[in-house]
Amino acid sequence: MSWSDLKSRAEAAQGRPILDLFGTGDRAADFSVSAGDMLFDYSKTNMDAATRDLLIDMAREAGVMDRARAMFAGETLNETEGRAVLHTALRNLNGGPVMVDGQDVTIEVRATLGRMEGFARAVRDGSYTGQGGRITDVVNIGIGGSDLGPAMAVEALSPYADGPRCHFVSNVDAAQIADTLRGLDPATTLVIVASKTFTTIETMTNAATARAWMGEVVADPAAQFAALSSAQDKTAAFGIDDSRVFGFADWVGGRYSMWGPIGLSLMIAIGPEDFRAFLTGAEDMDRHFLSAEPAQNMPMMLALTGIWHNQGCGYATRAVLPYEQRLARLPAYLQQLEMESNGKRVSMDGETLEVDSGPVVWGEPGTNGQHAFYQLIHQGTRVIPCEFMVGAEGHEPDLKHQHTLLVANCLAQSEALLRGRSLDEARDLMAGKFEGDELERQARHRVFPGNRPSTTLLYPQLTPHVLGQIVALYEHRVFVEGVMLGINSFDQWGVELGKELAKALQPVLEGEADASGKDGSTRALVDWLQKRGA
Ligand code: F6P
């Protein structure tokens, strides 16, 4: 079994009508998976039973589940950085010990969770105050994995938010922090500096700006700062008291970190109980992933569908299309999770990959996307597999009809992609309005090729527990795809070069270093900017 077998199957399936696959048996039941109260349907793809068997064999041969058990057990899976990969330990509320270097890490994890809960409660009930009284606003300053998770989840779970307002600042662009702080009262604002390393230039620059802003009004700005970091020496040097520093170990990767201290802003927003429900959702998905047979395993089948589309059929991108507006930041969150994890060109042993790395992931909430880029998805020349998701119920019982309309739109899009509209149907549609050559021309514009693959994830309602399940589902999907590709999904060397060059360019732009070592284009761009005041 090999990648070439998979590609041969994809070639053979090209042009085969997906609708024909529904001809015998109950394909909808056979090509869907349940986990807890969620349903993942992949029947509207061009995968047949033999291809699924091949994919499952490939996963087995790659040792996916052995690697998964090794990950959960704390083995050093992140080989290029010599680290375990244990974000799952952060949500291991009900499981047994997890040993790293002879120590049970769950003891520390639970102690930190308890400290976070104590602090979150104090912020929420007003026993911790700012120098001007009860905390009204929380500003989380962080970037990448120290921003996207909590920012996405705070928005997703807004119906559960009953704490102070949460704001997120990530970009080093002064515009974002200026726009965020404008209108906030420094005396009632808590600033959370979220940075695993506490060296990230964007975060440290914004943290210094926030401290200066606060210092103009309050006597002791550092007393209204908390830090989420693995670098306690650096948080102390910044002046943040250890009682408000929440640490985590190096085996928590940035983009996998929202389950621990990086989730503090979410915990303050929704409260410790709902945060635990979020963790439990993820823990339930972990258990499902470890125990379900491959064909009944949701992360496995989501991943194998992804491998089929990307490495098999050669579709270079995939659209993630959550229909709920509150999941607006999910595509951005998944972009980091998937593309920083599986955007690698060499395998674990340094060899060039035999197949393409992970795909480009992109998307927007459902009906907005329909009025923007779905045109290309339906009638463009490239095939883009779509991953739809929607909840059965919303949180606005008085506006139930709007949620029904939302769900109808979601289902309609996957149906349209599947069946399309033939030239005959298009002709019939336009027959009353045009005739002859003009009818033919007009009809051609209204043809939908159809036969375009999509999957649909359904869940009962966007609760903390469900969000935990969804995020863990995608984490394990990335894991399965990464193991099959033979890559290290847990490092991110590809972000380093740009960081180094930016550091070197700052003094050039400030006129303190010369640009002579730069390429001709960069020199010209620097020159243009300097003449205009950069
Ligand atoms: O973009 C690289 C990266 O290291 C991400 O993986 C990480 O989530 C982000 O930067 C932020 O890092 P830190 O939490 O150390 O500030």
Domain ranges, ordered by start, for the chain: 3-73+276-419+453-491, 87-270, 494-531
**Ligand 1 centroid to 264 CA: how many Å?**
17
482 pLDDT exceeds 90?
Answer: yes
Half-sphere exposure of 70 (CA within 13 A, CB side): 15
Indicate the CATH number for domain 87-270.
3.40.50.10490
Q: Which class does domain 3-73+276-419+453-491 fall in?
A: alpha beta
The pLDDT-based confidence of 2 (bands split at 50, 70, 90) is confident
* Within this chain, domains 3-73+276-419+453-491 and 87-270 share the same CATH topology: yes
The residue annotated as part of the active site, out of 216, 293, 371, 500, is: 371
Q: Dig out the tokens for 8 from the structure.
A: 């041969």
Q: What is the DSSP string of 115-178?
A: HHHHHHHHHHHTSSEETTEE--EEEEE--GGGTHHHHHHHHHTGGG--SSEEEEE--S-HHHHH
Q: Which atom of ligand 1 is nearest to the CA of 146?
A: 14
Q: Give per-residue pLDDT as tens, 336-378.
A: 999 999 999 999 999 999 999 999 999 999 899 999 999 999 9
- Is 340 annotated in the active site? yes
Q: Confirm or reject: Cβ of 260 under 6 Å from ligand 1.
A: no
Average pLDDT over every residue of 401-430: 97
- Helical H runs in 420-519? 423-430, 436-445, 464-485, 496-509
pLDDT for the residue 1: 59
Q: Per CATH, the architecture of 494-531 is what?
A: Orthogonal Bundle (1.10)
Cα–Cα distance measured from residue 22 to residue 27, given in angstroms and rounded to the nearest whole number: 6
199 pLDDT exceeds 90?
Answer: yes
Q: Which helix (H) or strand (E) is 269 found in, with range?
A: helix 264-270
Q: Which atom of ligand 1 is nearest to the CA of 142?
A: 16
Q: Which among 21, 26, 40 is positioned nearest to 419, based on CA atoms?
A: 21
Beta-carbon count within 10 A of 399 CB: 11
24 pLDDT exceeds 90?
Answer: no
Please report the ipTM that was assigned to this predicted complex: 0.98
Give Cα separations from 41 to 262, 284, 313, 382, 456 (angstroms).
32, 19, 19, 23, 5
The rounded mean pLDDT for the chain is 97
**Cβ neighbours of residue 91 closer than 8 Å, sequence gap 6 or more:** 259, 279, 280, 282, 283, 286, 468, 472
Name the residue at shortest CA distance from atom 13 of ligand 1. 195
DSSP E strands: which ranges in 211-313?
Answer: 225-228, 245-246
Helix 496-509 vs helix 201-215: crossing angle, to nearest 10: 50
Q: Confirm or reject: Cβ of 257 under 6 Å from ligand 1.
A: no
Average pLDDT over every residue of 205-211: 98
Residue to mutate (ligand 1; options 230, 255, 478, 492; most atoms within 8 A of CB): 492
Q: Which atom of ligand 1 is nearest to the CA of 203?
A: 16
What's the residue count for the chain? 534
509 pLDDT exceeds 70?
Answer: yes
DSSP-derived secondary structure letter, 186: G
The residue annotated as part of the active site, out of 11, 273, 396, 499, is: 499
Give Cα separations from 333 to 153, 156, 256, 261, 471 (angstroms).
10, 12, 10, 17, 9
Give Cα separations from 62 to 1, 57, 203, 223 (angstroms).
11, 8, 39, 51
Q: Confirm or reject: Cβ of 196 under 6 Å from ligand 1.
A: yes
What b/e readout covers 372-388, taking b as 16+ CB neighbours within 10 angstroms?
A: ebbeebbeeeebbbbbb
The pLDDT-based confidence of 110 (bands split at 50, 70, 90) is very high
CA torsion angle for 234, 236, 238, 241 (degrees, to 10)? Answer: 140
Does residue 365 contact residue 325 with C-beta atoms inside 8 Å? yes
Kindly state the percentage of the chain with pLDDT values over 70.
Answer: 100
SS3 68: helix
Name the residue at shortest CA distance from atom 2 of ligand 1. 495
What is the radius of gyration, based on Cα positions, of the chain? 25
**Ligand 1 centroid to 325 CA: how many Å?**
26
Q: Confirm or reject: Cβ of 205 under 6 Å from ligand 1.
A: no
Q: Give per-residue pLDDT as tens, 111-156.
A: 999 999 999 999 999 999 999 999 999 999 999 999 999 999 999 9
pTM, to two decimals: 0.97
**Ligand 1 centroid to 244 CA: how many Å?**
21
